[in-house]
Amino acid sequence: MKKKKAKLKYNNNSFDVIEIGDYVECAISGKKIPLKELTYWNVELQEAYFSPLEVDKSFKKLKEK
């Protein structure tokens, strides 16, 4: 079965599924994140992250701006 990318709206402690799918992509690494493993995201940027490492890279990138 082919996996489909989901579209989500990220909230403070949860997310809403806009388009049903199996995964989202990390905004930094591009890695696929299964929805049941999704733990890290940024509400303001509406981005998902694979791990704390990608979260850190995202915040460092924001500080540079």
Query: In degrees, to the nearest 5, what angle opens at C-alpha 10 toward C-alphas 4 and 16?
Result: 60
How far apart, in whole angstroms, are the C-alpha atoms of residue 47 and residue 45? 5
The residue whose two tokens read 């990318």 is 5
User: Looking at residue 49, what is its pLDDT?
Assistant: 98
Model pLDDT, residue 55: 97
What is the per-residue pLDDT for 1?
55
pLDDT 10s digit of each residue in the chain, 65 long?
579 999 999 999 999 999 999 999 999 999 999 999 999 999 999 999 999 999 999 999 888 87
Report d(CA 2, CA 31) in Å as an integer: 16
